[in-house]
Structure 1
Amino acid sequence: MRRLGNLALSTLLVGAAFAGGPAAAGPGHDHRHDHGHGHGLSFTESVIDADQGFRGLDAVDRRTAWVTGGSASGGPGRVFRTVDGGRTWQDVSPPDTTGLLFRDVEARSATEAVILAIGPGDASRIYRTTDGGATWTAAFVNDDPAAFYDCMAFFPGGRKGLALSDPVAGKFRILATRDAGRSWTVLPSSGMPAAVPTEAGFAASGDCLVTAGRSAYFGSGGAVSRVFRSDDRGLTWTATDSTIPPGEAAGVFALAFRTPTEGVAVGGDFAEPADGVDAVATTRDGWTWRNAGDLTHLAEDAAYVPRGGHLLLVTGQSGDVMGTSLSRDGGRSWTKVSDSGWHALDCTPDGSCWAAGAGGRVARLAR
């Protein structure tokens, strides 16, 4: 989102202790445990590169995860990968990335991943690797100065995917791939509702655009706060009110779905990060959104607990204001379980959850 610049546990979380990842790490790594106000959470945190703000995160399984970031000092944007459950992280960044802000990563395995850099004009780029980051191909470089890409997502199977740009000529722009990210095409805008002036997306956590089954959803903020849905791979969209308050730095930051129609939208206001009132909305049909429980912090990302039914986590970090909260009822009520918060959150079907945030911080939550 232009106005914001550097603006994404397991089986039964409640009552179950989460053993953090291994305590070993390479030089310069700092591990700590945050036991989450007695709620049975154990976070194992590492600092990979303190200069990086991580907002892109994709966990493949309990051993493999990718994170992407941007430099706080104007240096290169970095990409890191672990294949040993977070014991060690390898810098697998593309070359010549000075000034780039990598805000999203979509990984299929330890070897194949697609990453998105955000920004106006050619700062918005998509790179792809099939060898674990040893080499990268520039699959897309934006040549429209009016476009600003925020996030991307792939449908099940990994061949078809979409990327979202802030409005161009009054409508959100959708980029699509049909070959696992090798090539990308701008889709026609005829099926996209008109954007409201100053409406845009948030590149907060890489989850402002998500897929659920054959459907795709993205959230907006600014003048209005809406959720857009497509059931035809991004060709046509329907927009509905999210119930999350809009504002210059407020709206929907991320979405997560338990089924193709049951999901949650989360957000807040970066100008008032401690105000989490009305920052959560839920849907049971994928069309109608209802206001849910309040938070004590903004929510930049959300994830359903694997095999946990309606258990849901949200996390957010804005300067010194941060937190992670848990819902046992699908988002209707919330309990803050940790004073630690991150920008991005992701859980895997095999029962592990990962988080990433500012100051090069990554964390692993596991059974």
Structure 2
Amino acid sequence: MRTLRRTLTAPPYAVALVALTVPLAGAAGATPRPHTDDLAWSVTTVDADQSFRGLDAVDRSTAWVTGASVTGGAAKVYRTTDGGSSWQDVGPSGSTGLNFRDVEAVDARTASVLAIGEGEASRIYRTTDGGRSWTETFRNDEPTAFYNCMDFFPDGRRGLAVSDPVDGRFRIAATHDGGRSWQVLPDAGMPDSTGEANFSASGDCLTISGRDAWFGSGGAQSRIFHSRDAGLTWSATDSTIPAGDAAGVFALAFRTPGQGIAVGGDFAEPADGTDAVARSANGRTWRGAGDLAHLGEDVSWLGHRLVVVGQGGAIGGSSVSKDNGRTWRQFSPEAFHTLDCTRDGSCWAAGGGGRVGRL
């Protein structure tokens, strides 16, 4: 999210990397909170030079994580096929200076990763052999576009990626062949989005459930955009999450196409989780839910429960809700940027310092 990053400081990746300039949650001086609901993270440092913000867990054995180097080196893609006991560096070559913020995996062999950034820095790569080889399937040629996240429909063939507004409208790229190629869609069906932007905080600013797609915004307004025709036309609704220069909707998750949850906050105030959650019972309208004790960068269902994670520098944590987001309890001070829970009951998270957690 180019626009919101620049409101905090001059370097173009300042908001994206703000969490890397201070110690992680759980460091000396932090006060751990008691664990509840028998939930606890088992944390492994995979690559301390990476800040992980992309994650896709296929099942309890297989997961992919993506990140960016904090020292200016190569952006990495890691994969495990043994439940996190070991991780393999399987990313594409020539990734120095890139920032892999999202990964969408089919299985242990096939995945697409999104690099974010202005102009040609926004790219999509695809592998079908577990990362032994990669094909660049999309490179943004619009200098003012900045792609933030992507997702695929259940059929695995159609997918969408969202960019910050170009000429006042969010831009959508679409694939109809499983990510082998991407085309920019016309913007006639996109509401005016002047002053808004996406957050590439966790790879889940855009999400798909059934035939429906949603993405969140922040900046001048904090809204949730909804499409039922594969990204051609969109409606926009107030999210109830406060807007701001570095505030708005960070991630969305849907249990069904009607039952949805949105989380967010303000990177300038990472300890303020007030009004940072919204929920929907029909996928179209949103109302406020329970407050968090930290910002919410990502959210996922774990059976009947909801789990939220957030990491804003030294401030953050992990929280759980048993009542569809109406109330929350922080069960761990462990802070992560991105989260994914699977149907087989496993839950994965990843964040700064190259850390990956299993719940």
The code of the aligned residue for 2:218 comes to: G
Instruction: Give the secondary structure class of the aligned counterpart of 2:245.
Output: strand
Query: What TM-score results when the alignment is normalised by the length of structure 2?
Result: 0.92
Residue number in structure 2 paired with 1:81: 79
1:243 maps to which of 240, 244, 260: 240
Contact 1:36 1:42 in 2 (8 A): no
The code of the aligned residue for 1:121 comes to: G
Structure 1 residue 283 corresponds to structure 2 residue 277? no
Alignment of structure 1 residues 337-356 onto 2, 5 Å: 337-356=331-350
Contact 2:165 2:194 in 1 (8 A): no
The code of the aligned residue for 1:250 comes to: A
Q: Which runs of 5+ in 1 are unaligned?
A: 8-33
Cα displacement string for residues 307-326 of structure 1 (whole angstroms, at most 9, x for unaligned residues):
x2xx1010000110011111
Name the CA distance, whole Å, in 2 between partners of 1:232 and 1:56.
26
Runs of 4+ in structure 1 off by over 3 angstroms are none
The code of the aligned residue for 1:216 comes to: A
Contact 1:270 1:318 in 2 (8 A): yes
Instruction: Give the secondary structure class of the aligned counterpart of 2:318.
Output: strand
- How far off its partner does 1:85 sit? 0.2
Cα displacement string for residues 56-93 of structure 1 (whole angstroms, at most 9, x for unaligned residues):
00000000000000011111100000000000000001
- How far off its partner does 1:157 sit? 2.0
Contact 2:218 2:249 in 1 (8 A): yes
Contact 1:266 1:301 in 2 (8 A): yes
Contact 2:216 2:222 in 1 (8 A): yes
Name the CA distance, whole Å, in 2 between partners of 1:96 and 1:74.
13
Cα displacement string for residues 17-60 of structure 1 (whole angstroms, at most 9, x for unaligned residues):
xxxxxxxxxxxxxxxxx995243113111001101000000000
The code of the aligned residue for 1:262 comes to: Q
**Number of residue pairs aligned between Structure 1 and Structure 2:** 335
1:321 maps to which of 315, 318, 337: 315
Residue number in structure 1 paired with 2:224: 227
Name the CA distance, whole Å, in 1 between partners of 2:34 and 2:346.
17
Structure 1 residue 301 corresponds to structure 2 residue 295? no
Q: Which runs of 5+ in 2 are unaligned?
A: 6-12, 17-31
Cα displacement string for residues 237-277 of structure 1 (whole angstroms, at most 9, x for unaligned residues):
00000000000000000000011011101000000000000
Name the CA distance, whole Å, in 1 between partners of 2:240 and 2:327.
16
Contact 2:271 2:295 in 1 (8 A): yes
Residue number in structure 2 paired with 1:162: 160
Instruction: Give the secondary structure class of the aligned counterpart of 1:337.
Output: strand
Alignment of structure 1 residues 180-259 onto 2, 5 Å: 180-197=178-195, 199-259=196-256
Name the CA distance, whole Å, in 2 between partners of 1:364 and 1:324.
12
Contact 1:269 1:298 in 2 (8 A): yes
Aligned CA distance change for structure 1 residues 241 and 52 (closer, same or farther; 3 Å): same
Residue number in structure 2 paired with 1:122: 120
Name the CA distance, whole Å, in 1 between partners of 2:58 and 2:64.
8
Name the CA distance, whole Å, in 1 between partners of 2:242 and 2:347.
29
C-alpha RMSD of the superposition: 1.1
Residue number in structure 2 paired with 1:149: 147
The code of the aligned residue for 1:135 comes to: S
Name the CA distance, whole Å, in 2 between partners of 1:173 and 1:55.
22
Cα displacement string for residues 147-193 of structure 1 (whole angstroms, at most 9, x for unaligned residues):
00000000002110000000001100000000000000000000000
Name the CA distance, whole Å, in 1 between partners of 2:140 and 2:38.
45
Kindly, what percent of the aligned residue pairs are identical? Answer: 63
The code of the aligned residue for 1:341 comes to: A
Cα displacement string for residues 252-306 of structure 1 (whole angstroms, at most 9, x for unaligned residues):
0000001101110100000000000000000001111001111110000000113
Name the CA distance, whole Å, in 2 between partners of 1:222 and 1:352.
34
Cα displacement string for residues 112-140 of structure 1 (whole angstroms, at most 9, x for unaligned residues):
00000000011000000000000000000
Residue number in structure 1 paired with 2:258: 261
